[in-house]
A and B are shown apart, each in its own frame.
Chain A
Amino acid sequence: MSPLITLVLKRVGLGVLTLWVISVLIFVGVELLPGDLAEEILGQNATPETVAAFRRELKLDLPPHARYLAWLGGLTEGDLGNSLANGRPIAELIGWRFANTLFLAASTAVVAVPISIFLGILAALYRNSLFDRLISMATLSTISFPDFFVAYILIALLSVQLLLFPSVSNINPQMSLLEKLYAIVLPCLTLTLVVVAHMMRQTRAAIINILSSPFIEMAHLKGLRRARVVVRHAFPNALSPVINVVALNLAYLVAGVVIVEVVFAYPGMGQLLVDSVTKRDIPVVQASGLIFAATYVTLNLLADVFSIISNPRLRAPR
């Protein structure tokens, strides 16, 4: 087997292991609750019958390892249990919202990735110029603003003053794709601004790092044209760090949607997680936390795998 495949398989194995440990952590976290979960949540006035029913519902009457196996078994079959708040199956609650969150994240990625790579490369090529400084200033201030500040400024400008876009992104399955896209313009723009700032800075740093390496200087000294140096020498080596930057930011996006979804009342996973935490609806929190973690770990894994595959140094046999 080639060393490349071994390396990739190792990473995948590590990802699966991480996910498994996270599932144990999520499960044990609830176990470690001081006192009894049932009484904690139902309050002191709960009758013994309600407490008993609640314990049965959460399978608290079983020993911990049996409960963990039952929970994990349910997960693999797509059965996530029932919500405590309204008794509906969690899979039903999550399915549609997860698709919505992915829709928002994907739309943002389509806009943000090309812009930030383009700006990052430009800033790196013309570094320390006026253009580079302007961009650095702009991105630094965007990073310093909390996500919800950016969101409210956009609402104030584009929704309240100019009446261009809706300030509430309430989408439903009956809407056409175009209507949905129109509804998510503002959340998408907010996320784009935040992600572009991070991604652009990291792209710039990665490219500058490559441009200052000895082999690029060598190429210049050989008298090659600037365009050839950038395309043939710098680009293949820059691909791996840039892919890494993109994937890491997509992973960041998955968690970053939480706040933006709350601001724009967008029916996604983030909104669901925050609501369930407020209601202390533990099974929903566990399930959605695990889904967030799985997405995050998968994206980080993809980042690793792609950067291994695209790195000329790792691809070549030692």
Chain B
Amino acid sequence: MEIYLDNAATTKPLHNVMKMLEKEAFSGYGNPSSLHRKGLETEKKIKEARRNIAREINGKYNDIYFTSGGTESNNLALIGFFTKNFKSIKPFRCVTLKTEHKSILKSMDHILSKGANVQYVHVDKNGLIDLVNLEMLLKEGVDLLSVSHVNNETGVIQPIEKIGKLFKKYYSAGYFHVDGVQSFCKIPLNVMDAKIDALSISAHKIHGLKGTGVLYLRDKNKVNPLFFGGAQEGEVRPGTENFPGIIGLDAALKELGKSYSSYYKEVADKKRYFMENILETIDHVSVNGIAGESGSPYILNLSFLGVKSEVLLHSLESDGIYVSSGSACNAKKSDRSHVLEAMNLNDHRIDSAIRFSFSPFTTYEELDETVEVLRNHVESLRRIMMR
């Protein structure tokens, strides 16, 4: 038995993605930059994918740039904007949240070390952005604002549209970047309405393949590339396109995109069912982040007080259930989740936090089974750990 509840870390590729690959990657081996027909065939398919992605977020198709994934998209969006503009904008003022993904925080550290000024908006105990505090910062002047749509550890949804409008009210030339890795194809986002200048997307979080990402860029002249080469991707991102990854993303989008509001509701029901079940059967469990409307249905973060989360994680794993403690990207380090720390949760809660993340294909049976196994492990682990 295998129950995979770590879909915020990565997802299993869809059958139709693999089928598409088999069909297209063999025949479509041409280099889109080649002048002959073989290259053109590939180019057409990539263009088709670009259109589909653009339609999904209400952007223009030639503002879609393919990258190697969410991390690269985030780096390109932030560092690319900085290197292009730091000479003309002084002081160079950036604002973000302490709860962002490491690829945002480390990129900010990097531009900070190159002379930018970086400030962090407060978040409340649920990880929601403090709009009053944001407005205060905006009044002082902000050139670059980066906020993720959905937090990868807690699932908290930030009010992107409100934030975008507020930002542009104070400074219409400001640059608004949104990390949409956890929300793309799951929670609607309209780049025009939210006044987004740059949006990061990753394929493997929506049942596509690893190694493929997208950066939507409303104005490519606002960023410098991170590396240099040919004229691919409008020279924003040189290098031969990752064709299999791109058609994989397109295939996943085709399947998930068309019914995502129904998926949203289904997954939300399952999450509520799962959570209520746990809270009923297991004592001393607290919810990190928001369980209701402002939380993504795809992510649930719970603390099983008194149980070290990594031990619970491996115990569940020994029964074929895969979850995450904090963010999978930091699972290799034993330090505490920076997200939960930024939310000012106490150490006991952080040390016992487990993230469950769902997919449209998660079943009620799997959730029932998980609650049962959880209950047993939590009970027996508490007997040892709370001794």
Are A and B physically bound partners?
no
Q: Chain A: residues with CB nearer than 8 A to chain B?
A: none
